[in-house]
Amino acid sequence: MDTALKALAEPRRREILKLVWATELPASLIAASFDDVTRSAISQHLGVLRDAALVVERRDGVHRMYRANRAEMKRVRRFLEEYWDDSLERLRDVAESAHREKGIPNE
């Protein structure tokens, strides 16, 4: 999960992900849509996304077709939503117990 979040923290990779969200694309086309970076860099980004399971690869002759792994994306999304929503209650106790243990001044 951490791998996925880190992968998403990079703007270039988010851009790639958007490209292959709805359509399957070969690496060459993905790389071609970035003019300020080499094909190699994109290939490496694709590797990171693949390792994070955010993207799936399928070989088609000389091409490697990529598309977003929406199942995994959903997992990330759920994780974050639980993070926002659950943190409040779940951690109030932790904070308060720490409060007591260390004996913080005033309040």
Partner DNA sequence: CACTTACGTAAGTGTCAACTAACTTATTTC
Partner DNA sequence: GAAATAAGTTAGTTGACACTTACGTAAGTG
Q: Which is nearer to a second copy, 41 or 79 (CB)?
A: 79
Which stretches of the chain bind DNA, using CB under 7 A?
A: 6, 9-10, 12, 26-29, 31, 36-41, 43-48, 57, 59, 61-65, 105
Token pair listed for 6 = 């880190």
Q: How far apart are CA 91 and CA 7, in angstroms?
A: 27
Query: Cβ–Cβ contacts within 10 Å for residue 30, how many?
Result: 21
**Residue 34 or 72 with smaller CB distance to DNA:** 34
Question: Which one-letter DSSP state was computed for residue 60?
Answer: E
Name the minimum Å distance from CB 11 to DNA.
Answer: 9
